[in-house]
Amino acid sequence: MAEYSYATERKIRILTEKLGENWQEQCGGRSIDAVYNEVIGDNRKNLFCKVDPEVKRKVDELTEGYDIKMSELVERLIEKEYDLFKQRTENYSEDLANEFAS
């Protein structure tokens, strides 16, 4: 039997409890992570990128200072920036419509 990390062994234990001993057969060769995420209802997506070391230091400082996970900080920042983007887009569309109406 293959050796797994503690996290993977935990996922296997949860899958076995929820789906039974034959969960792998039931799930048609899908990965442990994919089945686990489906079973627990986690539909989040991975978002990876490389950043400058100074930016990473600032992220670490923010997450520690706010006592939040990095994923929560990234979500907050993206939501805030997306709201600004949508506002700018709407304002641009309104300005363009007003220009043509004149």
Please say if the pLDDT value at position 86 is more than 70: yes
Cα 24–chain centre separation:
25
What are the contacts of 81-90 at 24+ separation with CB within 8 A?
none
Q: Categorize the per-residue pLDDT at 12 as very low, low, confident or very high, splitting at 50, 70 and 90.
A: very high
Q: Which residue has the higher pLDDT, 95 or 42?
A: 42
Predicted local confidence at residue 99, as pLDDT: 77
Tokens of 92: 């641009």
What gap in Å lies between CA 96 and CA 71, rounded to an integer?
A: 37
Q: How many helices (H) and strands (E) does the chain have?
A: 5, 0
Between 99 and 32, residue with greater pLDDT: 32
Query: Is the per-residue pLDDT at 42 higher than 60?
Result: yes
Instruction: Report the pLDDT averaged over residues 11-22.
Output: 95
C-alpha count within 13 angstroms, C-beta hemisphere, residue 89:
6
